[in-house]
A and B are shown apart, each in its own frame.
Chain A
Amino acid sequence: MLTIHGQAARYCDGVARRGFLKIGGFAMGSAAPATLASLMRAEAGTPSGNARHGKSIINIFLGGGPPHQDMWEIKTEAPREIRGEFSPIDTAVPGIQIGECFPQLAAIMDRLVVVRSVVGCDGAHDGFQCLTGWNRRNVESIGGRPAVGSVLAKLYGQRDPGIPASVALAEKTSHVPWSEPGPAGFLGAAYQPFRPNGKGMEDLTLNGISLDRLEDRRTLLTSLDHLKRAADSRGMMNGMDAFTEAAFGVLTSSKLADALDISKEPAEVRERYGDGKPWKYQYDGAPTCNEQILMARRLVEAGVRSVTLSYGRWDSHGQNFDLVRDHGRKLDQAVSALVLDLEQRGMLQDVTVLVWGEFGRTPRINDGAGRDHWPQVSCALMAGGGMRTGQAIGATNRLGEYAVSRPVHVQEIIGTAYHNLGIDVMNTTISDPTGRPQFLVDIREPMKELV
């Protein structure tokens, strides 16, 4: 699916001007990475204190709306036409049961949190809310709300010069809002996530010229670029230099390309995540691409602060149970592998994992063995981020129609993620284009059960 080097003839289609270095008598101007990183922070206008911290988020969007009653809370007391085909299974945490399609997650329930009572869903078939915490219409006239990844890019900048702050892995789906990468909103284009599978991928892979020729160009540029940086004491030129250097870094050091290249991962690890194939029930939605979940881990390991991806197509108006069996089994494998992998690498405390969709599904099963849209209540799976895991939060009523205890608003989940990412959600604001300070979310208390 993903080819890092666009052309096989990468090293042999061009000319080598390495000799130019000696002919011209110039030294290659390469700046120290630490300096560049600090310049880039300055450019992004960020406080430097937290800029290097290693906290990240992986936001796995289950586009279409997963059936809440078939995932983390099986309604055993509901009548047949509601209950569905699945039985609950015990988990590693006594007293918590989840659906039978998720045995591997059940086995690591102590590292997970399931929220059974997510409320506040817009009801739109759109990833926007799960990435931002907001309705797409909110402050739309000034650009709309930024996603978590763009906020991190704004507040913290990049952790590593060769690695973008925010990456969106979702490939464009024919129902476009299911592959929402996470909008930069009113923060502006500079804070858009990097999309390796979209147009950006073309820029990322060195196409058309060889690495040697790129090095020649870089040398030439260094030797011709005379305008004094000092002319710009606001750091714009330095910032641009840093990004230029970073772009060379991306193109030459291959850190980002490497992070996206899962073939560099040992076969044993790849097997643990699985590939999610064959991809079924896809239609106009995303595939169950388990490799993207592995890629997400590689990206946060390389220094990406936010990775978003869209996993599967859960809009189960028909054949709901077959779909959950298929998608669920694959998701079970990939997410449990991710959590354990992060734990083994000592990263689980720093990486918040969210797995959720835009709304829940109707209690009553329809004639086609499907379930329809049900924004009244939804569900979420959370892990890592230093949260107190091993909990099931909230509950729906006997029929799974609405939250009867601890309704958790979508914004609380995003707010908790911000909290995990080291942001003081209560007090942090970002100025919108009109100069008005905007909070990241309106419900600013992180979930007290988790922090």
Chain B
Amino acid sequence: MSTAIRILCWLNCCAAAALWLLPTANAQAPAGSPSVSFVNDVMPMLTRHGCNAGVCHAKAGNGQNGFQLSLLGFEPAEDYEHLVKEARGRRLFPAVPENSLLLRKATAAVPHGGGRRIAEDSEAARILTEWIRQGARWDGDSAPALLRLTVTPAKGTVPRGQSQQLQVAAEYADGTVRDITQRALYESNDRAMAEVSSSGLVSVTDLPGKVSIMVRYQGLVSVFNASVPLGANVDAVPPAQNFIDELVFSNLRELGVPPSPLADDSVFLRRITLDVAGRLPTAAETTEFLSSAAPDRRTAVIERLLASPDHADFFAGKWTALLKNRRDDASDITSNFAFHAWVRDSLLANKPYDQFVREILAATGTVISNPPVAWYKRVKEPKQQQEDVAQLFLGVRMQCAQCHHHPFERWSQNDYYGLTAFFSQVGRKPTATRGEDMIFHKRGAAAAVNIRSGIAVPPAALGTAIPTIAADQDPRLLLADWMAAPDNPFFARALVNRYWKHFFRRGLIEPEDDIRDSNPPTNPELLAALEKHFIESRFDLRELVRVIVSSSAWQLSSTPLADNLVDQQNYSRYYPRRLQAEVMLDAIDDLAGTRTDFPNLPPGTRAIALPDNSYNTSSPFLRVFGRPENESVCECERGQSSSLSQSLHLMNAGDIRGKLAFGSGRAEQLAKSDLAVEQKIEELYLVAFSRKPTPAELQTAVEYVISPQTDAAGAPIEPARAVREAFQDLVWALMNTREFMFNH
């Protein structure tokens, strides 16, 4: 068997029946020797061996050491130019192909910054050599196009600690099917759960759950979805309240991961008030709820909180951060207040989500007459508008495709500029207010120029053709129509995933705004059902929240069972999360019986109702605890991690000390009050944790308060002061517990 034939024949005995292996068609091939195709043989080798990785020869600028390849081989024609013609053709040596610089560099026969990429006797070396021997021909116009990749199996169950070999077939336009298992690139979406070898052998670890392997070849992507069961007994499952429970619990049954039991009433009330309204329940709310025996008491709380202004405040904060309501200049205040109020009012009125987005997207006029125009004040460039809209409302990250084909996605630069074109006719002219433009539709044909091709691309919505748009028609309206269509594959999915993450801490797709074929959801049926429910409710945000928080899945205890401790992605229990900066500041004020005042806002304004980021400057607390600066369309801008500064702040900062010792604060009032010590401590527990103290906690706290105190010199200190300080210490201790700082 000749080298060339060996190159093209990876006969895989097991799969042979399904795969026809034919040499790539090329009319000019010398008789008897199957021709090596540049686009279908050579290019995949360059990609597989990392030659065209971003750090190597696809480095922006000139490529490493002056040899430029296109990123991941998306531009074969350019690569051919650089390989064959550039540098006076020094990279190839047709007379003695093995001595070509290309091969000598790749095999490190001469010094190569990237080291030894391929072995001299490897398949890759043979392909490159044979291609040069055959005349290093360009066949980009004649070679059959790759139509699809098929991974076998496409999904499956892999027991923990075991492995699964994948087979990958590539189907070409001329009907050829090739086994490219040894040529493709593999990547695990969670390397803690599964590793994959360069030849497609998937090895799963001990962690149960869902994991995906992305397979990439010549610009196409396919995925193997593995389910790794724990295999524990899943008998005790809480009652299903709605479709969410059916799908969450059936997934848990499939994985053999048991759910924790339902949370008790205290935990439920604290959790829902924090997650829906962004605040702690008051002591009165807690007392009332805990004393109620009504079977529908949880439903009643859900309805009350959904309709509350707190809910609108809390979610307005979330949305205005993502919509970049940022104070860069003192004069921004009017616009920022107007936009925040508009978002809040929209949420309070439960404006349908598609209408909410349409009003932002297609906003015209001035900020005062039409506040959503403020978004165009902040996001000025069409490309930026497009990127923000794609990521925020469609869950699609288009940034990569501005300069090159998206490496993990089907988006090309034309898709990027096609979507950008919807914003190309946004006109603006200055108004009497400094820094504020009037936004209007500029008559003309919408288009955006692809920077690589130089061609003006008309509006196109991520693969969906849009009918020709008349010059006097605002293209943004058509974009909004396309987004809100029931069959739009992105719009509803992005929103339900985003909201799901708010309540469950982990998106069904993670990160929540990176939806792509190569990043599949952990529970696709559930995501589809949520999407359907949301569309059928006519984009009713409140109904979406209602159906989520009404589910037993959301009401599960956060306390893990032995068999679901390792689960981090299947919602077998509630995953706790630290309170976000604003919520924590409000909670501390509630507990300490104090308030934080903010400049230019009425006294009593709570931190969750702050309209923009400017208050982070005046409040070190908000800054240290990671309140975002509203600079990014990504929720990840919000810092949720802990830090030494945070701990020091809670422990020792002036503003916390001031709150503890505040003259009419809770510690002071409790110290002065005539109530029994036990009742005072109960009040603290109701406020901080929405529950009464356990007998042991009560005993500890009471003893702390009543124990006699001495100063450093050993002399007894005045009882009134001792009690006051004891309550300060108690408030401080409760505030620093995990139970307080986390929604659990």
Contacts and interface: CB of A to CB of B under 8 A. Distances in A.
Contacts of B273: none
B701 A237 contact: no
Interface stretch (B1-9, B72-80, B171-179, B646-654): B646-654
Interface in B639-680: 639-654, 657, 661
Contacts of B700: 24, 26, 220, 223-224
Contacts of A217: 729, 732-733
Given A188-B637, A236-B578, A220 B631 contact: no
Q: In the complex, which of the residues A43, A203, A247 has the most CB atoms of chain B within 10 Å of its own CB atom?
A: A203
Contacts of A86: none
Interface string B617-643: 000100111100101101011011111
Contacts of B651: 203, 214, 244, 247-248, 251
Nearest to B735: A221
Given A20-B703, A224-B733, A243 B558 contact: no
B439 interface: no
Interface in A164-218: 164, 188-192, 194, 199-200, 202-210, 212-214, 216-217
Interface string A230-262: 111110110111011011101100000000000
Given A207-B657, A241-B738, A190 B704 contact: no
A344 interface: no
A427 interface: yes
Given A231-B559, A426-B55, A240 B642 contact: yes
A190 B643 contact: yes
Given A234-B575, A433-B636, A216 B648 contact: no
A329 interface: no
Interface stretch (B158-166, B455-463, B711-719): B711-719
B707 A19 contact: yes
A422 interface: no
B474 interface: no
Q: In the complex, which of the residues A43, A164, A190 has the most CB atoms of chain B within 10 Å of its own CB atom?
A: A190
A210 B707 contact: no
Nearest to A237: B738
B487 to A, nearest CB: 27
Contacts of A223: 700
B391 interface: yes
A141 B641 contact: no
A15 B710 contact: yes
A216 B729 contact: yes
B711 A251 contact: no
A140 to B, nearest CB: 8
B632 A247 contact: no
B400 interface: yes
A176 to B, nearest CB: 13
Nearest to A15: B709
A53 interface: no
A231 to B, nearest CB: 5
Contact of A220 (B644, B647, B704): B704
A244 B647 contact: yes
A203 B717 contact: no
Contact of B399 (A225, A243, A436): A436
A346 interface: no
Given A248-B651, A435-B511, A224 B642 contact: no
B600 to A, nearest CB: 22
Given A188-B626, A217-B729, A221-B733, A246 B712 contact: no
A249 B741 CA distance: 20
Given A190-B626, A230-B565, A237 B576 contact: yes
Given A203-B649, A244-B651, A433 B637 contact: yes
Given A142-B632, A224-B701, A427-B55, A239 B642 contact: yes
Contacts of B565: 230, 233
A345 interface: no
A208 B657 contact: yes
A237 B644 contact: no
B560 interface: yes
For this complex, into which size category does the number of interface residues on chain A fall? Answer: 35 or more
Interface string A1-38: 00000000001101111011001101000000000000
Given A14-B712, A232-B742, A434-B397, A240 B647 contact: yes
A365 B384 CA distance: 46
Contacts of B559: 228, 230-231
B566 to A, nearest CB: 7
A2 B739 CA distance: 37
Nearest to A142: B632
B709 A16 contact: yes
Given A24-B704, A190-B626, A224-B733, A206 B636 contact: no
Nearest to B558: A231
A198 to B, nearest CB: 10
Given A233-B565, A233-B566, A251-B651, A213 B642 contact: no
A77 B643 CA distance: 55
Contact of A202 (B391, B640, B653, B742): B653
Contacts of A247: 644, 647-648, 650-652
Contact of B637 (A143, A233, A243): A143
Interface in A413-451: 426-427, 433-436, 439, 444
Contacts of A246: 644, 647
B697 interface: yes
Interface in B10-24: none
A277 interface: no
A433 B629 CA distance: 13
Interface in A22-64: 23-24, 26, 43-44
A140 B629 CA distance: 12
Interface in B439-493: none
A236 B641 CA distance: 7
Contacts of A267: none
A237 B647 CA distance: 12
A438 to B, nearest CB: 11
B560 A230 contact: yes
A408 to B, nearest CB: 18
A246 B652 CA distance: 13
B245 interface: no
Nearest to A199: B620
B90 interface: no
A434 B392 CA distance: 11
Q: In the complex, which of the residues A15, A19, A230, A243 has the most CB atoms of chain B within 10 Å of its own CB atom?
A: A15
Contacts of A202: 652-654
A158 interface: yes
Interface in A135-172: 140-143, 158, 164
Nearest to B567: A233
Contacts of B623: 189
Given A233-B560, A233-B565, A194 B644 contact: yes
Nearest to A242: B642
Q: In the complex, which of the residues B575, B709, B725, B729 has the most CB atoms of chain A within 10 Å of its own CB atom?
A: B729
A247 B737 CA distance: 14
A14 B711 contact: yes
25 contacts: A11-B712, A14-B711, A15-B709, A16-B711, A17-B709, A20-B703, A23-B703, A26-B700, A43-B641, A140-B631, A142-B634, A189-B624, A189-B625, A206-B652, A212-B712, A217-B733, A221-B737, A224-B734, A225-B737, A225-B739, A232-B742, A236-B578, A244-B736, A246-B644, A433-B634
Top 3 closest A-B pairs, CB basis? A247-B647, A243-B647, A203-B648
Given A16-B712, A243-B644, A247-B648, 13 more contacts: A15-B709, A16-B714, A142-B632, A142-B637, A190-B646, A207-B657, A208-B652, A220-B730, A224-B737, A228-B560, A233-B567, A241-B738, A444-B55
Interface of B: 55, 384, 391, 397, 399-400, 511, 514, 558-560, 565-568, 573, 575-578, 620, 623-626, 629, 631-632, 634, 636-637, 639-654, 657, 661, 697, 700-701, 703-704, 707, 709-714, 717, 722, 725, 729-730, 732-734, 736-739, 741-742, 744
